[in-house]
Amino acid sequence: MKPIYENALIRIEIEKSEIPWLKIFTQKAYKEFSECTAEEKLEIFRALDVIEKEMLSFFNPHKINIASFGNYVPHVHWHIMARFEEDSYFPEPMWGKKQREGTYVLENFETFIQRVQAVI
């Protein structure tokens, strides 16, 4: 998938989902966060901060989830997800057991992406 943003340190991609979900990857393929340079770590946290604030402002979610696992993809990356009581998995993680047929409808995602691109 084509990144919605990238620079020399990171790239941001969309995770196709019923909820607003973005991922931040390091450009270099590190296995662990501790391997990143201080500059890369700061850039990751800057992007996390921008994305979280834009998700809160634009979607008004119940909660923001931020996760970094890398068990399947051993390349440093972070997931940022806006969560809603009406989504299919809430309050479980999106990788957890489906709780119901969700009623949350993701609207205006392209407008949200444009806002993130303008701010980042």
DSSP string, 26-87: ESS--SSGGGS-HHHHHHHHHHHHHHHHHHHHHH--SEEEEE---SSS-S-EEEEEEE-TTS
Whole-Å CA distances, 7 to 10, 47, 94: 6, 11, 28
Position 79, amino acid? H
Is 80 exceeded by the pLDDT of residue 1?
A: no
Question: Omega of the bond prior to 91 within 30 degrees of 0, cis?
Answer: yes
Q: What is the architecture, at CATH level 2, of domain 5-115?
A: 2-Layer Sandwich (3.30)
Looking at per-residue confidence, does 4 or 1 come out higher? 4
Amino acid 55: pLDDT: 98
Domain-wise residue ranges, the chain: 5-115
The tens digit of pLDDT for each residue in 36-58 reads 999 999 999 999 999 999 999 99
The tens digit of pLDDT for each residue in 65-97 reads 999 987 888 899 999 999 999 999 999 999 999
Amino acid 99: pLDDT: 96
